[in-house]
Amino acid sequence: MTKKTASLIVTLIVLAGLYLYYFTDWINPPHIQISAASRPVATVRPNWKVYPVTFALDGKYELTSVKVAAVAALQTNKHAKPLWHLVSKSNSVPTRGFAYGQPIRGMKPFLEGARPQPLEPGAPYRLLVEAGRARGQVDFVPVPLVKAAN
């Protein structure tokens, strides 16, 4: 093998490695982009102090885990107790979005019988989602519920 052939093979291997790193998901897991929004609605759960929070994903995903925890708790404890935690035992239905506390088809609470805890107005929370290897997170602050004057 000549020096020219060896250098071409090395160059080809380096270029193939760069391509795999920058243009495929083989090395870096895909990232899910999430947007959170609080919108006033006519009916709200009686014990809740905030407007419902909805989450929109950047595509359709078969979610395997959905978790919401307080940011303050996550800063002191990496494995903080979540306020809401759903998991998929098999296949969940592909979804583009969901609301906090609402059931997602194909997913069940991590702990049997667990219910979503009410969110506190003004407190920051973090949503963590997984769909296979893809992961995403977003921080959000719920908007306080404004009661209509009669």
Model confidence over 83-120: pLDDT tens digits?
999 999 877 889 999 999 888 888 889 888 888 888 88
- Containing structural domain, residue 45: 34-140
Rounded Cα distance, 78 and 67, in Å: 13
Residue 146 domain flag: no
Residue 52 domain flag: yes
Query: Tens digit of pLDDT for each residue in 39-54?
Result: 877 666 666 788 889 9
**Same domain, residue pair 93 and 51:** yes
150 falls in which pLDDT band (50, 70, 90)?
A: low
Q: Tell me what the pLDDT averaged over the chain comes to.
A: 86
For residue 83, the model assigns a pLDDT of 92
**Same domain, residue pair 19 and 77:** no
Instruction: Please state the rounded mean pLDDT for residues 55-66.
Output: 92
